[in-house]
Amino acid sequence: MESVLGIHEAALSFRARRMEVLAANLANADTPHYQARDLTFSAVLDERMSAARHLAVTDQRHIQIDPLASRETLQYRMPHQPSLDGNTVEADLELARYAENAVSYQASLLFASGKISQMRTALTGSR
Amino acid sequence: MGTFSTFDIAGSALSAQSLRLNLTASNLANMHNVAGDPAAVYRARQAVFQAARDPFGSVLAGVDVLGVIESETPPVERYDPGNPQANEDGVVYASSVNAMEEMANMISASRSYQSNLEVINTAKDLLLRTLSLGQV
């Protein structure tokens, strides 16, 4: 199925993960000393590309590392207006990013379902 | 961390913020309490939040309520011999709850509650759409 959905499957898992990260930021909007974090698309892409370069799986006992699961791609946010209690969450900006991420998720879903209906058309012909 | 951890994260924030809202209500309700003994008078209560750690070592976290602390502000001393709660010197101690502070806290808690609710609603919509992926 992965080859049918192509890159959209990976894009969906990135968006789902980012949704969790942004939800964690919003949940801790009133927690002192909480540092807001985010995933950047390019960081995940870089990690995935370098993983593809360096960690070749040549044996079936080798373990694949999922770049989305590692901590290194999570980066700390630089706040525009730091607050005195050390919290770097800016709730309105986080909400805006969350909405943007949700729209991108829906776009990936749309592409994926387009792929599926393409396959269905190919299988059933013009009937 | 599964697909539904967004719900856990935002849900923990909902319960934390509603506790904060309840504490504000309690503080405002007891704002005019008096007592003859300074130790017995009502003190403002505030919730202390902390980022919760997932037991499986994930960096993502909801929010935990560490506890509820009582304000250290001393009660206001007032001479009021007609009050039935006055001590032998005719002094009553009034609670030092600051109404402005409580209102600001209430607005902040209610806004945070709203934004977390929005997070849950959006996540629910997206997951329902994902479940119906490929259906005609």
Give every CB contact of residue A54 below 8 A, 6+ residues apart in sequence. Answer: none
Note the pLDDT of residue B54: 66
Subunit contact B115:A99, Cβ cutoff 8 A: no
**Of A23-37, A50-64, B39-53, which gets the smallest average pLDDT?**
A50-64
How open is the CA angle B19-A24-B23, to the nearest 5 degrees?
Answer: 10
Residues of A in contact with B126 (CB under 8 A): 19, 102, 105-106, 109
With beta carbons less than 8 A apart as the criterion, state whether B120 and B6 touch: yes
Q: What is the secondary structure of chain B as a DSSP string?
A: --TTHHHHHHHHHHHHHHHHHHHHHHHHHTTT-EESSTTTS---EEEEEEEPPPTT--S---EEEEEEEE--PPPEEEE-TTSTT--TTSEEEE----HHHHHHHHHHHHHHHHHHHHHHHHHHHHHHHHHTTT--
Taking CA–CA distances from A115, the nearest residue in chain B reads: B134
A26 interaction partners in chain B (CB closer than 8 Å): 10, 13, 112, 115-116, 119
User: How does the average pLDDT of chain B come out, rounded?
Assistant: 89
pLDDT (average), residues A49-64: 70
Q: Of B10, B109, B133, which has the smallest distance from its Cβ to A23's Cβ?
A: B10
Contact criterion met (CB < 8 Å) for B62 and A71? no
What gap in Å lies between CA B5 and CA B2, rounded to an integer?
6
DSSP β-bridge partners for residue A16: none
Concatenate the DSSP letters of all residues of chain A into one string: -HHHHTHHHHHHHHHHHHHHHHHHHHHTTT-TTPPPEEE-HHHHHHHHHHHHHH----STTSPPP-GGGSSTTEEE---SS--TTS----HHHHHHHHHHHHHHHHHHHHHHHHHHHHHHHHHHTT-
Average pLDDT over residues A44-65: 71
| Strand pairing report for B34-35 and B91-94 | antiparallel
Token code pair at residue A18? 């980012």
Q: What is the dihedral of CA A84, A18, B4, A107, to 10 degrees?
A: 140
**Parallel/antiparallel/unpaired status of strands B63-70 and B45-51:** antiparallel
The answer to whether the beta carbons of residues B75 and B95 sit under 8 Å apart is yes
Between A116 and A65, the more confident residue is A116
Question: Lowest mean pLDDT: which of A4-8, A22-26, B36-40, B120-124?
Answer: A4-8
Q: Is the pLDDT of residue A1 over 60?
A: no
Q: What is the largest CA-CA distance in chain A?
A: 66
Higher pLDDT, B61 or A22: A22
- Is A93 in CB contact (< 8 Å) with chain B? no
Tens-place pLDDT, residues B106-119: 999 999 999 999 99
Query: Residue A82: its pLDDT value, please?
Result: 85
Contact (CB<8Å) B123/A24: no
The distance of B129 to chain A (nearest Cα, Å) reads 8
pLDDT at A62: 79
Residue keyed to tokens 């919760």: B52
| pLDDT single digits (tens) A4-41 | 787 888 888 889 989 999 999 999 999 999 989 898 88
Q: Is the pLDDT of residue A69 over 60?
A: no
According to the model, what pLDDT value does residue B136 have? 66
Q: What mean pLDDT do residues B85-105 have?
A: 92
Per-residue confidence (pLDDT) for residue A53, from 0 to 100: 57
User: What pLDDT, in 10s, does the model give residues A77-115?
Assistant: 898 988 899 999 999 999 999 999 999 999 999 999 999
Percent of chain A with pLDDT strictly greater than 70: 82
Q: At what angle do helices A41-54 and A7-27 cross, to 10 degrees?
A: 130
Listed by number, the residues of chain B in 42-71 with a beta carbon closer than 8 Å to a beta carbon of chain A are 49-51, 59-63
- Is the minimum CB–CB distance between A10 and chain B shorter than 8 Å? no
Phi, psi of B37 (to 5 degrees): -120, 125
Give chain A positions within 8 Å (CB) of B20: 30
- In a mutagenesis test of the A interface, which of B50, B60, B69, B121 is the best target, namely the one with the most A β-carbons within 10 Å? B60
